[in-house]
Structure 1
Amino acid sequence: MEANPEEPHGAAVVADGLGLKGPRGWVFREVGFRAGPGALVAIEGPSGSGRTCLLLALTGRMKPQEGHAEVAGHPLPRRMAAVRRISSLGPVPGVSDLDPSLTVAEHLRERALLQRRYDGAVRALLRPPGERAAATRARIDAALEASGLDLETLPKGERTSVRDLERLEALRLSVALALIGRPRLLALDDTDLKLSPADRAEAWALLRSIADAGTTVLAVCSEAPEGALKVTTAPRTAEDTADATAGDATAEDTTHEDTADTTAEDATDASADADADAENEDTTEEGEADALAETGRA
Structure 2
Amino acid sequence: MGGTGDGTAVTARDFGLEGPRGWAFRGVRVDAGPGALIAIEGPSGSGRTCLLLALTGRMKATEGTATVGGARLPKRLAAVRRVSALANVTGVTDLDPALTVGEHLRERALLQRRFGGSVRGLLRPRAERVTEARLRVDTALAAAGLDPETLPKGARTAVRDLERLEALRLSIALALIGRPLLLGLDDADLKLSAAERADVWALLTSLTEAGTTVVAVCSEAPEGAIAVTARPIPDTDTDTDTGAGVATGTGMASGTESGAATDTKAAAEADAKTDTKTDTNTDDEAKEAADALAETGRA
2:183 corresponds, among 173, 181, 186, to 186
Aligned counterparts, 1:227-266, within 5 A: 227-237=224-234, 240-245=256-261, 248-252=264-268
Deviations 1:205-240 (A, max 9, x none): 000000110000000000101111101112245793
What is the aligned counterpart of 1:281 among 268, 274, 277? 277
Q: Give TM-score scaled by structure 2 length.
A: 0.83
Q: Distance in 2 between matches of 1:290 and 1:28?
A: 30
CA distance 1:157–1:202, shift in 2 (3 Å)? same
Indicate how the Cα distance of structure 1 residues 253 and 151 shifts in structure 2: closer, same or farther if over 3 A, else same: farther
* Structure 2 residue corresponding to 1:17, chosen from 11, 14, 17: 14
1:125–1:291 distance in 2 versus 1, CA, 3 Å: closer
Q: What is the aligned partner in structure 1 of residue 247 from structure 2?
A: none
Q: How does 1:158-237 map to 2 (within 5 A)?
A: 158-237=155-234
Q: Could you tell me how far apart the structure 2 residues matched to 1:189 and 1:135 are?
A: 28
TM-score normalised by L of structure 1: 0.83
1:123 Cα deviation after fit: 2.1
Equivalent in the alignment of 2:245: none
2:252 maps to none
Q: Distance in 2 between matches of 1:100 and 1:279?
A: 27
Which of the residues 80, 104, 111 maps onto 2:101?
104
Cα distance change, pair 211–253 in 1 and its aligned pair in 2 (3 A): farther
Q: How many residues align?
A: 268
**Structure 1 SS opposite 2:257:** helix
Q: Say if 2:149 is the partner of 1:152.
A: yes
Task: Give the structure with the higher percent helix.
Answer: 1
Instruction: Report the residue type matching 2:81 in the other structure.
Output: R
1:292/1:197 CA distance change after superposition, 3 Å: farther
> Does the 8 A contact of 2:47 with 2:262 survive in 1?
no
In 2, the alpha carbon distance for the partners of 1:208 and 1:233 equals 21
- In 2, Cα distance between the equivalents of 1:248 and 1:63? 15
- Which residue identity does 1:281 align to in structure 2? K
The Cα shift of 1:180 comes to 0.2
- Conserved 8 A contact 1:48-1:244: no
Q: Does structure 1 retain, via aligned residues, the 8 Å contact 2:100–2:157?
A: yes
Q: Is the 8 A contact 2:112 2:177 kept in 1?
A: yes
2:243 is matched with none
Specify the SS of the correspondent of 1:233. strand
Could you say what the CA RMSD is over the residues aligned between the two structures, in angstroms?
2.7
Return closer, same or farther for 1:246/1:168 CA change in 2, 3 Å cut-off: closer
Unpaired runs of 5+ in structure 1? 1-6, 256-277
After TM superposition, give the deviation of residue 8 of structure 1 in Å: 5.3
SS at match of 2:267: coil
Cα distance in 2, alignment partners of residues 55 and 10 from structure 1:
17
Asked if the contact 1:78/1:280 (under 8 Å) is kept, the reply is: no
Secondary structure of 2:23's match? Answer: strand
Q: 127, 130, 134: which one pairs with 2:131? A: 134
Write the distance in 1 (CA, Å) between the matches of 2:170 and 2:127.
Answer: 26
Q: Matches of 1:189 and 1:109 in 2, distance apart?
A: 23
Q: 1:254 to 1:130 in 2, by over 3 A?
A: farther
Asked whether the 8 Å contact 1:253–1:291 carries over to 2, the reply is: no
CA distance in structure 2 between the partners assigned to 1:71 and 1:62 by the alignment = 14
Deviation sequence 1:50-102 (CA, Å, 0-9, x none): 00000000000001000110001100011000000100001101111111010
CA contact (8 A) 1:48 1:245 kept: no
- Indicate how the Cα distance of structure 1 residues 224 and 175 shifts in structure 2: closer, same or farther if over 3 A, else same: same
- Partners of 1:250 and 1:212 in 2: how far apart? 34
Residue number in structure 1 paired with 2:119: 122
The aligned runs of 1:42-121 (5 Å cut-off) are 42-121=39-118
Aligned to 1:203, the other structure's residue is in SS state: helix
- Seen in structure 2, the aligned counterparts of structure 1 residues 61 and 47 have a Cα distance that, compared at 3 Å, is same
Distance in 2 (alpha carbons) for counterparts of 1:22 and 1:64: 10
Distance in 2 between the 1:58 and 1:167 partners?
26
Give the C-alpha shift of residue 33 in structure 1: 1.0
Instruction: In structure 2, list runs of 5 or more residues that go unmatched.
Output: 237-255
Change (3 A) 1:104 1:293: same
SS class of match (1:41): strand
